[in-house]
Structure 1
Amino acid sequence: MKRFLTRFIILSFISLVLSQLAWAQAETLTVKGKLVDQDGKPVAGATILVQERTSGVTTDKDGKFNIEINGNDRLVFKMPGYNTQYKAALDIKEAEPIVLVKSLIDAGDDDDVYIPFGVRKKREVTATITTVNNSDLPQLPLSTLNNALTGRLSGLHIQQTGNRPGTDDASFLIRGRSSNNSASPLVLVDGVARDFVDMDLNEIESISVLKDAASLSWYGMYAANGVIYVVTKRGSASATKVTFDAQGGLQTPTTLINPLNAYAHAYLYNEARQNDGQAPQYSQNQLIGYYTKSDPYLYPDVDYPSEFLKKASPVQRYVATVSGGNAFARYFTSVSVYDQDGLYKGGETPNYNSNTNFRRYNFRTNLDLHINKNLDVTLDVGGRVSNLRYPRDGNTSFLNTIFNTPANAFPLLNPNGSYGGSSLFRTNPLAMLQARGNITDVYRTLLATMTVRQKLDGILEGLSLNAAYTYDMTGLYTSGFTQNYIAYEWQGGNSYQGYGTETPLNYAASTFSDNLRNNEFWGGFDYDRTFSNHSFKFSTRFQRAVSASASRLDDRREGISNRLSYGYQQRYFIDANATYSGSQNFRPGKRFGWFPAIAAGWIASEESFLKGNKVIDYLKIRGSHGLVGYEAIGASRRFAFNNYFTRGGTQYFFGTGFSAVPNTEQLDAANPNLTWEKAVKSSVGFDAQFLKQSLSITADLFRENRTNLLTTDLSPTIVGQTLVNINAGEAQYQGFETNLNYSKTISEFTFGLFGNYTYAKSKVIHLNEEAGLPKYQTQIGYPIGGVLSGTGTVRRFLISQGLFQSEEKIAAAPIQRFSGSVKPGDIRYKDINNDGVIDNLDFVSTDYSDIPTSYYGFGGSAKYKGFDVNFLFQGVAGRTIQINTLVNGGTSNTGYINQFSAYRWTQANPEEALYPRLTIADRVNNTQNSDFWLRSGDFLRLKHVELGYSLPASTIKKLKISQCRFFVSGYNLFTFDKLNGLPIDAEIPEAGYNSSYPALATFALGLNLKF
């Protein structure tokens, strides 16, 4: 912790010293100049401001101005209808007029689109890129940023997968999935590979999703799954800005198990045993004791979730930023603190606290230095320190205990005050919190980037040399307390049976681990030049990156990326990309490949047949086609192009000795022809604006065909050796997406509506499958992926036909060979191949998948005087989830009895039953993967609502601030689904069940201050 802070302070100090030196060099001088438009005509009445000051002048009728400034000042040239221009004082020459460019649609000051190592106006972009700015994202106290993006960007599907403090996990999918391996996109921060989810929102300027070949081919072999491109904030372009944000609130569970009480559990347990032909476990006297709760020690009835989970837990976030600068240096600095408490209660002891807690500190300083008119340098330093505390047994083990221990297992405390337990249930959740210790993980991350840009106008006007180098470090320090306890089973009187061994409180061994160092170097040339109506932009970069950890061999990658952009009359645009990149995952000689792409755009609204149209203000048609790759193909081992050997378990005797000698075995035979996945992406779409630019619509049709997927090698088994997979698979996805935005101002009332929708469906074209596989079991023609289950992803299911209602129905049905016997109340399955037997040949491939075919978001905002409100709905469709692991959860110790067991089949309610009969010993038939356990995962969720009030200008002027806003917000507020009252979360079905942390809703009060 101290070393991390020391490094950050030193780097920040250097940055500030450099900026202070800039001010120290200032000298007063008079600058004269002239403003002209693109045609050389004078621009009269334009405003010239000195950055960091309120003073300024305006141009006269001839466009001339005269202003006194310091040598390090930076001038800002503004004129309605023109793009704002910034120039350092020393760069202004009286003989060289300053040209103000008239703003075209999608080419104004606020229309910058960030691409890898470059910036384009939205008008120039021919690729498919969707961007959300910091100002459009909610200021919420969330531990990670991924879920703040949900529903806001077309083509980006975010599925939340976890809720624990500090692990607010989510998976990303861009457009569709055509790989049978990982579909995770490449995440970049300021152009280099870095994770962004632990950054604070106020560090970020914008987040973009790069979706087509034209935007992805720059990263060649690493970008087939798409790119999430994050741009951090930089120094203010016109003035010093100081901001402070604070939020505090509560997080409450939205779904939580409602466990059976002791009587219900005992009753249903007896029923399950009777269904198995066994004697009841609990006597009538015991059932009466549980029902009347006559003795809390002899007949315990413990509601574990209520005992150990709070109704709400606090969360808070504080952020301060400062930005500004002058002609020589611009800076942005931010500091933030985030604190999220867990839901566990009863974990505070005099020595430690075992309630889970997450606390994070974020730091960032971005410094831009204008050394002279030809040399610019940036130095970015960011970092974070996070502390994650949890019970020593782990969150999973603790949650599993409180969710799955039956209410009648034992009293938490015995009559003598000792921890309760039994021979079947030896884990006491109270003792897990109070007598097992805790663990604290401290993660330290330091991120540093230095870039240099040297203009080479002396060689060729518009040419510049550019270089960037990153140095990232991450480490984990683990510490805590260790302790153990004895659980006692009370046997009446003073008699107790103990389980376990008690150990005194002690410090746990501290460890350093997960140390990771990442470095990237990007170096090359840029050329940016405009000749009359022709504009040329060319970039070339050589990249080399290394990721080093003590626990593995270094990961290395390198390549050369090239991009050429041409524009004519700001109406016709074409971009060509070609990247030569490689991966060490493949054998020498087969490590590199070319990844070309081309894109074009046409501003049709500038043509004579549309220009002046009163309906269509702007129309751009664009399209792209190209090839990108994916090198992390998921081979069975690294460097699978080589043969490897290991010492086998079998031992042999040689010679006359009596000692056995271990043998040496070959692992999977090498595949020297392993290569990367190749994705051919095509996209065509348009951008349009209507009604005086108040309504904007974008739409895209897209398709991807991916080859070289890893699949089974069908070589004859006669070779006697298992082979690694081969690149013989093929799949595709296709679909469309659209965005809509509308805004309108009527007097003092402003409102806006927005929405986005994406449809994408995948299909397997070829995979090697076992010989003789029935056609109905093949994956060919079905979507990539499947339904998530406790054992992985399931693609084939039995077709259920309800529940057997009588022995006669069973006798007349095909024989079901998944268990010893089938009885009334068991699931009946369809005989697919009509052989009179239900077995593995009756599973069929289906379209069921956890990946939705459609995902969308829509919302709106309104503002009247000082009041404002905004909201967001998010939803998915075409998604399937399974409840097998929920309804049939538990162990034989619990009889697999849980709250869902109350809706089982019985002779008394055969028609109303939701689930099969209860059974403990013979459960195989009813737990098969079948469509009986599948449910719709479609949902529509009110993701976010915020209501704010800003103090009026007269008040904030007296307070000497520029803005003061109070607001109240809610996140994950309520959900509409198709689960027919099933008490689970449609997005994370197991949240609040089995061993998963509950899904959370967040309510917060906030304050925004700007100075």
Structure 2
Amino acid sequence: MNWMYKVLASCLFCFLLISTCNAQSEPDATVTASGTVVDKNGKPLEGVAISVQENTREVTTGPDGKFSIECISNEVLIFKKNGYNIARGAASELENTTVTMVATLIEAGDEDNVQIPFGVRKRRAVSASVSSIKTSELPQLPLSTLTNVLAGRLPGLYIQQLGSRPGTDDASMLIRGRSSYNSNQSPLLLIDGVERDFVDMDLNEIESISVLKDAATLAWYGMTGANGVVYVTTKRGSSTSTRVTLDAQGGVQTPVNLTKPLDAYTYATLYNRARAENGEQPLYDQTALDAYQNGTDPYRYPNNNFVKQFIKKAAPVQRYVATVSGGNSFVQYFTLLSYYNQDGLYKWATNPRYDANTNFQRYNFRTNLNMHINKDLDIALDVNGRIEDLGYLSAGNGTFLNTLYNTPANAFPIYNENATYGGTSQFRNNPLAMLNEDGYISDLTRSMMSTIDVKYKLGSILEGLSFNAFFTYDVEGLYKSGFEQAYEVFEYNGAGGYTQFGTRAPITYSASAFSASVRNNEFWGGFDYNRHLGQHSFNFSTRAQWALSASPGRLDNRRQGVSNRLSYGFKDRYYVDVVATFSQSQNFAPGKRSGWFPAVSAGWIVSDENFLSSAGFLDYLKIRGSVGLVGNDLISSRRFAFNNYWTRGGSQYAFGTSYSASPNSSELELANPNLTWEKARKASVGFDAKLFKQAVSLSVDYFYENRTDLMTADILPNVLGQSRVQVNAGEAQYKGIEAALNFSKNIGKLNVSFNGNFTYAQSEIIAINEEAGTLPYQSQMGYNIGGVRQGDSFTRRFLLSDGIFQSQEEIDAAPVQRFSGTVRPGDIKYRDVGGPNGVPDGIIDNFDFVMTDYSDVPKAYYGFGTTLQYAGFDVTAQFLGVHGRTIQINSLINSGSLASGYLNQFSVDSWTTATAQTALYPRMAMSDRGNNTQNSDYWLRSGDFLKLKQMELGYTLPAGINRLMRVNAMRFYVSGFNLLTFSKVDDLPIDPEMPMAGYGSEYPSLRTWAAGVSIKF
């Protein structure tokens, strides 16, 4: 119940905060703001949207430009129209007033700012490839990580969910494609320009998220930018308004796909059949089979369904967020406090000593403070942190779920007749005892991050010049604690007694320890110069970077460099950006640690040229392109691999007449003094267009990347007798196209918007060192970068299957298969591709594995969605799809253990003589199974899918009701995540995105339903 007190405390804080704010002033009078909106020439403007700031009340001007809207005297009205700067006015001052709006260029308005590294540009002036989204466009979902909310929303960003356990519903991110076959391909994650992970932030902390994809934006980061950047901008205060918000959500998470274990009778029957396939006698006689069916003796002949007994149908999830923001011309602030609680799916996990159900709780807080000290000095101070508590049973979730999924239904009774825990010599894990008698672990992670950003204008020296200093101090630590315990299980021995396995130990506190302490510091200092001279604009930035990461037990990680960027614009139509970064990394030998990373991009607003003035449907067209060099120093090799090192320990040797053992020293793999970073040469060309009075927006990019100096095996002769560090001799590339389409239209009171994006990328390995004598059809050269996921690894070579052997005659006439001692009817038949000389030799062995283009990374991924708004109602839906992806089901169909006979729910569809024509899978076997568990295309399936990833339905109360309740706006909504899936593996009860979720030892994939309320004061 401890979490309930925490929730109540959080709510109490929020309501006290809101009450305090409301108590500061008496209710303001209701007024009717009215007037006429005109342009600078006095011409009435039609279609101007007038809304109450931080509210949903909105009216639109007609042909005469007139407006009238009821509001409160202290409220601020916002005037918006495409092609014009935003205008603001106090409601109390707008009575039969004329409001003048100033025309602006397309994509150069007040809301067209784009965040680039340590700078802001109008979208019109950006000639690089950047995609961005505001969090106001994202649904409010109670998820433990933010990554999955972005799935399908941004072109070029591929997000694949990898887990769903509380606190660990992580995902991998990939920008555009893979051009390295080494392990690290994750993009650089930045928060307000600092390398920090954003997945554990609350959505309400974030203002916008941008994806930087080409060399013109990435070269700024030198050796760390080759994989792309996800750039997060946090919210800040406003000098024109004070805002207090409260969001509260509650919901449930339900398992989508979950293994259905065999009942005792089916299991025993299949077990006998599997033994018969091996020529063995049945283990279960007819008496046992009858007892399993009629359930007359549940202690001697148990029939458990551990999944049903210990997995809930739903688990609760909650999220509460309070924010306060505001300020004046001297100080602006934004403050957030949030609480998140995600419970696990385990039943019977609570006892008087502890609750062993997996659980995740998180507190987030943030304060962003902007201070205008004087006309020359501005200081921003940000402080934020998190407290995360991840709890789980001592045995571990993987062990517990493996016990539930793969322990046979007849293995043992949960309780024996004498009230002891059931178990056997083969099956010693009793799930109820694991939850209540095995202990509990709590991982408490505390993080604190602070940033100070100082800007000093040097206009007295040179107009437009400023000095900037930026410093961060981040600390994080893990405190592990909990309880230790041990239990025994008993097996009925048939003689009226029980055999004990294991030894009981009383509950004790586990060894508590502080670990995983990390301190990160980052400094950026330099100058900015921003100046407009007639039709010319200049923006120049130079920054020196110094970064440090320190943790006990390892040497510090250090990084430094100097980044420079020059932006030039002419006539607000022609733009050029030049970036040059000098970057250093300690991962390489002295004298070989530094390099230059240049890039250039250019943009042309073609639609402003006279020759396109007659194209009435075309409002805006920009052509842009970039080319440059970026690096990646996170190579897959040991640290400081440019030096030779020795290690002590390991085997011991006897010396002298007494033959006493002495510790040895051994040399690590031989060093490579010429190690260097991966070099990514990126090129991108594309266009941005707006059509039909800016109702339609379209962006298209063609991109190409060639990456050299990839780490690959050293192919020196083996006579050296020592392993070697890898060498920079690899090369790979990718190329593709991406597009984004947006549509927005008001049809009376109905507002309709649509978003869609598509990315296609094809990779190729150009150079890689392979073992001498590698056969052409086993070489990776010319194939894509990828592989089929097998747990945490990837497989690229597969046997080619040719159905299933139906008779001994087929076996005798086929090539000899050497992956099993005996091949029988019902086994998978493989093709004879080649032998030691690369030609078929009548034998199926390792020479018959062939290289393939099958990959877990799709060739294409896309997303699309829509938002409809009408009379206070709104509905949003977002889909995610992938194409050209392959998954394997070998691990799924053959999950289990030798003790359980590798029998599971899929075994009922295994081959037998009677089901030879309809069987889905090869025969069952208790042993000698090697032939049917090989990596082959028999077990490969299409991993393509289309998911309704997110959906939200909301209703905003009318303005009159809001005023009665003394709030600016109140919105109620219901939302869902991971709602529907359409795939080519509908015949299997799996999630194609996470095929093993709910099987083996993996937590099931979850569908989330939530209801919430959002209040603005």
TM over 0.5: yes
Partner of residue 832, structure 2:
831
In structure 2, the partner of 1:920 is 926
Judge which range, 763-772 or 950-959, deviates more: 950-959
Structure 1: which amino acid aligns with 2:438?
Answer: R
Task: Report the Cα offset of residue 448 of structure 1.
Answer: 0.4
Residue 847 of structure 1 aligns with which residue? Answer: 853
287-296 vs 728-737, which moves further: 287-296
The SS at the match of 2:630 is strand
What is the distance in 2 between the residues matched to 1:958 and 1:805? 78
Residues 950-986 of structure 1 show CA distances to partners (whole Å, capped at 9, x for unaligned) of 1111211222211111111111111000014111110
Q: Provide the rounded CA distance (Å) in 2 between the counterparts of 1:483 and 1:164.
A: 24
442, 462, 465: which one aligns with 1:440: 442
| Match of residue 266 from structure 1 | 268
What is the aligned partner in structure 1 of residue 518 from structure 2? Answer: 516
Match of 1:802 in 2: 803
SS at match of 1:250: strand
Q: What are the ranges of 5 or more consecutive residues in structure 2 without an aligned counterpart?
A: 11-16, 22-37, 55-75, 90-99, 835-839
2:337–2:364 Cα contact (<8 Å) kept = yes
1:882 maps to which of 870, 885, 888:
888
Q: CA deviation at 1:842?
A: 0.4
User: C-alpha separation between the residues in 1 aligned to 2:633 and 2:792?
Assistant: 26
Q: Where does residue 673 of structure 1 map in the other structure?
A: 674
What secondary structure sits across from 2:292 in the alignment?
Answer: helix
Aligned to 2:57: none
CA distance in 1, matches of 2:317, 2:772: 56
What is the distance in 2 between the residues matched to 1:305 and 1:503? Answer: 27
Identity within the alignment, %: 59
What does 1:173-322 align with in structure 2 at a 5 Å threshold?
173-181=174-182, 182-322=184-324
- Write the deviation string for residues 697-731 of structure 1: whole angstroms up to 9, x where unpaired: 00000010000111111112223322110000000
Superposed, 1:453-468 pairs within 5 Å as 453-468=455-470
Is the 8 Å Cα contact of residues 138 and 149 (structure 2) preserved in structure 1? yes
Alpha-carbon distance, 1:291 to partner? 1.9
Q: Is 1:812 aligned to residue 786 of structure 2?
A: no
Of stretches 823-832 and 290-299 in structure 1, the one that deviates more from structure 2 is 290-299
- For residues 935-956 of structure 1, what are the alpha-carbon distances to aligned partners after superposition, in whole Å with 9 as ceiling and x for unaligned? 1100001111111111111211
Shift of 1:664: 2.3
Aligned to 1:783: 784
Q: What does the per-residue CA deviation read over 1:774-807, in whole Å, with 9 as the maximum and x for residues that have no partner?
A: 1000001111120011472101000000000000
Deviation at 1:647, TM superposition (A): 3.0
Residue in 2 that maps onto 1:422: 424
1:1008 aligns with 2:1014: yes
CA displacement at 1:582 relative to structure 2? 1.1
Give secondary structure in 1 for the equivalent of 2:812: helix
The C-alpha deviation readout for 1:245-291, integer Å capped at 9, x for no partner, is 11111100000001100111111111111111222221221112112
Any idea what SS the aligned residue of 2:610 has? Answer: coil
Structure 1 position 856 matched with structure 2 position 862: yes
The corresponding residue for 1:991 is: 997
Aligned equivalent of 1:548: 550
The residue that corresponds to 1:659 in the other structure is 660
2:744 matched residue in structure 1: 743
Do residues 774 (structure 1) and 768 (structure 2) align?
Answer: no
Match of 2:902 among 896, 899, 902: 896
- Alignment partner, residue 585 of structure 1: 587
Q: Could you tell me how far apart the structure 2 residues matched to 1:79 and 1:874 are?
A: 32
SS of 1:609's equivalent in the other structure is helix
What secondary structure does 2:173 align onto? strand
- Taking the aligned partners of 2:357 and 2:785, their CA distance within structure 1 comes to 40
Secondary structure (helix, strand or coil) at the match of 1:305 reads helix
Deviations 1:619-650 (A, max 9, x none): 00000000000000111x11000001123644
Q: Name 2:70's counterpart in structure 1.
A: none
Rounded to whole Å, the distance in 2 between the matches of 1:442 and 1:269 is: 45
- The C-alpha deviation readout for 1:520-540, integer Å capped at 9, x for no partner, is 000000000000100000000
Which amino acid letter does the alignment assign opposite residue 803 of structure 2?
G
Question: 1:692 — aligned with what?
Answer: 693
Residue correspondence of structure 1 range 69-80 to structure 2 within 5 A: none
What CA distance in whole angstroms lies between the structure 2 residues aligned with 1:414 and 1:77?
Answer: 72
| 1:482 Cα deviation from its structure 2 partner | 1.4
Q: Which residue of 2 aligns with 1:72?
A: none
**Structure 2: how far apart are the matches of 1:494 and 1:383?**
60
- Asked if the contact 2:883/2:944 (under 8 Å) is kept, the reply is yes
**Stretch deviating more after TM superposition (658-667 or 429-438):** 658-667
Alignment of 1:250-649 (within 5 A): 250-492=252-494, 494-635=496-637, 637-647=638-648, 649=650
How far has the Cα of 1:656 moved from its partner?
Answer: 3.9
Name the structure 1 match of 2:959.
Answer: 953
Q: Is the 8 A contact 1:876 1:938 kept in 2?
A: yes
* Alignment partners' CA distance in 1, 2:143 and 2:651: 53
Q: Residues of 2 paired with 1:123 and 1:984: CA distance?
A: 45
How many angstroms apart in 1 are the aligned matches of 2:869 and 2:285? 67
Structure 1 residue matching 2:224: 3-state secondary structure:
coil
Instruction: Quote the residue 2:971 is aligned against.
Output: 965
Contact 1:76 1:84 in 2 (8 A): no
Q: Is the CA contact (8 Å cut-off) linking 1:76 and 1:238 kept in structure 2?
A: no
Using the size of structure 2 for normalisation, the TM-score is 0.90
- Tell me the secondary structure at the aligned position of residue 485 of structure 2: strand
Report the equivalent of 1:25. none
* C-alpha distance in 2 between matches for 1:888 and 1:945: 36
Structure 1 contact 242–1010 (Cα < 8 Å) conserved: yes
Deviation at 1:513, TM superposition (A): 0.6
Deviation at 1:748, TM superposition (A): 0.8
Counterpart Cα distance in 2 of 1:525 and 1:38: 38
Does structure 2 conserve the Cα–Cα contact (< 8 Å) formed by 1:463 and 1:527? Answer: yes
Q: One-letter code of the match for 1:603?
A: I
**Alignment-derived partner of residue 69 in structure 1:** none
CA contact (8 A) 1:180 1:785 kept: yes
Q: Secondary structure at the match of 1:448?
A: strand
Provide the C-alpha distance between the structure 2 equivalents of 1:305 and 1:548, rounded to a whole number of angstroms.
Answer: 44
In 1, Cα distance between the equivalents of 2:654 and 2:424? 49
Per-residue deviation, residues 205-249 of structure 1 (Å, max 9, x unmatched): 000110000010110100100000000000025211111111111
Q: Which secondary structure state, in structure 2, belongs to the residue aligned with residue 372 of structure 1?
A: coil
Q: Deviations over 1:881-921 (max 9, x none)?
A: 00111111111100011111111000001010111100111
How far apart are the structure 1 equivalents of 2:912 and 2:79?
79
TM-score between the two structures when normalised by the length of structure 1: 0.91
What residue is the counterpart of 2:728 in the other structure? Answer: 727
Deviates more, 1:760-769 or 1:956-965: 956-965
Question: Is the contact between residue 712 and residue 726 of structure 1 (CA under 8 Å) also seen in structure 2?
Answer: yes
Q: Tell me whether 1:104 sits opposite 2:105 in the alignment.
A: yes
| Secondary structure at the counterpart of residue 221 of structure 1 | helix
Q: 1:86 to 1:325 in 2, by over 3 A?
A: farther
Using the alignment, how far apart are the partners of 2:53 and 2:417 within structure 1? 75
Letter in 1 for 2:901: G
How has the CA–CA distance of structure 1 residues 720 and 869 changed in structure 2, closer, same or farther, with 3 Å as cutoff? Answer: same
Deviation string, structure 1 residues 283-314 (Cα, Å, up to 9, x no partner): 22111211222211011010011010000000
CA distance, structure 1, for counterparts of residue 743 and residue 384 of structure 2:
37
Cα distance change on mapping 1:86 and 1:661 into 2, 3 Å: farther
Measure the CA separation in 1 of the matches of 2:128 and 2:797. 38
Is 1:542–1:560's contact at 8 Å kept on the other side of the alignment?
yes
- Alpha-carbon contact 1:702-1:735 (below 8 Å) kept: yes
In structure 1, how many angstroms separate the alpha carbons of the residues matched to 2:295 and 2:966?
Answer: 65
Secondary structure of 1:270 counterpart: helix
Report Cα offsets for 1:369-395 as digits up to 9, x if no partner.
Answer: 000111000000001101111111111
Q: CA deviation at 1:552?
A: 1.1
Task: State the AA in 2 paired with 1:887.
Answer: I
Match of 2:950 in 1: 944
Residue 871 (structure 2) aligned to one of 865, 888, 898: 865
